[in-house]
Every structure is written in structure tokens, then in C-alpha cells.
Amino acid sequence: MTETVALSPELGAELIDTGDLLSDATVARIREAVKWRGVLLIRGAHLDDSAQLELSRKLGTVLAPGGREIFTVSLDPAKNPTAEYLKGTFCWHIDDTTNRIPAKATMLTARHVAMVGGGTEFASTYAAYENLPESERKRCAGLRVVHSLEAAQRAVHPDPTEQQLAQWRRIPTHESALVWRRRDGRRSLVIGATADHIVGMAPDRSRELLDELLEWSTQQRFRYTHEWSAGDLVIWDNTGMLHRALPYDPSSERTMHRTTLAGDEAWN
């Protein structure tokens, strides 16, 4: 029988005794675990691309940016032409904050792992919001935040060239509520590296608030760190989990294959 065990008190679950990973019962358990625990781990799943896509399609609609349903995560430019861009993933972020409707979930399988470093950290912005003092909730209520690719990339390249700026600014900015209230009533913080500024707030106060919320959300009790082994599979709720890669040698063989599931609810 399929079982799940908690990875930490506030987030994360591990699926054990999976049986048939593609069965309707197991897929339903995976879907529920991702929704309510944010991150689901299946150790040693060893899915090839075909099986990863089959599981992804059972969970939702697979996105294919650039015509690719499988995206190779590697800092080796020979494996991934956008390797330089991926250096931004070393900062806490949520994907798709510049899109009207964010991706619902992400699935990552480990093909090769780094000898040193290269883990992935997750932090729950659901738990972070739920545990905010009431005074801080009131402070955040009604505020709106502008997200941009430029804000995230400046964290890695603080002195960009004109060419880099032009490339980053091809992606339009997007404004969302700082506190996202979903259709089901759950609330989470929409923060991370792409959070450029709070609308209508002085730049220094805006940066201070965003930094404080990020520090609060990524404290140890709201965080889970996964140290990868080849064959591991992790699925997470992209809309509510901050995540980041831990540093590793760019010459490492670390290679992940990623599939992304389309969302169905716009930032409000």
C-alpha cells in the first residue's frame, strides 16, 4: 500500500512503498501530497524521459516552452544553451511570477549528481504566512508587488551590460498581490528573487519589507533541503514553494530533467 511520511514538520512528504507509480491510486496520493505538503519526494524512482512524461501527464498538462517538454537543467552550455541564466536559480525564487498564470507544479529527476553541493532547498510560503504575527499580516494586507526577470538576474550579475539588460527586459514585468488568496481560501506570500518592489512604497522601505519577508519565509522551520541521489524524483507546488539550488562546481556532471505542469489560477 502506498504511504507517505513527513520530511519536516511544516512541509514535504516522501512516498514509500509506491507499487505501480502510474496507477490511479498512486497518482491521486501524489496529487494530494503536493497540494497539502508542498514537496513530494520519491527516492530512487529512476524514471526515464518517457515515464517522467507519462506521470506528468497524469498529474496535469505538460508545458513545452521552446517546444521542449523535457528541460535539461545543467550548467554545461553543451547540454543547456541557457546555462548562464540558470545561475539565477541559486537565489530563492518562485517560477513564473512574471506570467499571469503561474505553473502549477514542477517535476525534477536526477540523472547525474554533483560530488559536492548541488542540493535543492524548498521553503513554504503557506507556512510562512500562516505563522506571521497578526501585526505583520496587517502590514502586508492590500500590498502589491512587481516581479521582473531583471530583479532576479541582478542578484547574480549586479553590473550588467547593456546587452544583458536588453535581454532581461524583453520579459514584461508582472504585478500581483503580495499575499495571494486562492480560490480555496489558502494564502501564501508571493516573494523571492523576482520581487522587484512594492507598488507605491519608497524604494528603501520596499526593499526592507521584501528582504524581511524572504528571511522570515526561509528560516529553518519552514524549509526542507534535499540532497540528491541519482534516480530521485521530486515534485513541488511551484505556486507556494520558494526553491533554490545550492552551489556546485559548474564543471560537475550534475544534470536534472525537468517537466512543468500548467497552472489554472492567475495571480490575483
Q: Per-residue pLDDT tens for 5-14?
A: 999 999 999 9
Q: What range defines the domain where residue 167 resides? A: 3-261
Residue 175 lies in a domain: yes
How confident is the model at residue 78, as a pLDDT?
Answer: 85
Quote the cell numbers at residue 89.
536559480
Q: Per-residue pLDDT tens for 31-79?
A: 999 999 999 999 999 999 999 999 999 999 999 988 899 999 998 888 8
Residue 8 lies in a domain: yes
The CATH number of whichever domain residue 202 belongs to comes to 3.60.130.10
- The Cβ of residue 10 has, within 10 Å, a number of other Cβ atoms equal to 20
Select from 149, 142, 104 the least CA-distant residue to 241: 104
Residue 231 lies in a domain: yes
Q: Per-residue pLDDT tens for 111-129?
A: 999 999 999 999 999 999 9
Quote the cell numbers at residue 246.
545550492
| Letter string b/e over residues 83-103, b meaning 16 or more CB atoms within 10 A of that residue's CB | beeebbbebbbbbbbbeeebb
- Name the one residue in this structure whose C-alpha cell is 524583453: 170
DSSP state of 86: G
Residue 267 lies in a domain: no
What's the whole-model pTM score?
Answer: 0.94
Q: Per-residue pLDDT tens for 158-193?
A: 999 999 999 999 999 999 999 999 999 999 999 999
Domain total in the chain: 1
Residue 266 lies in a domain: no
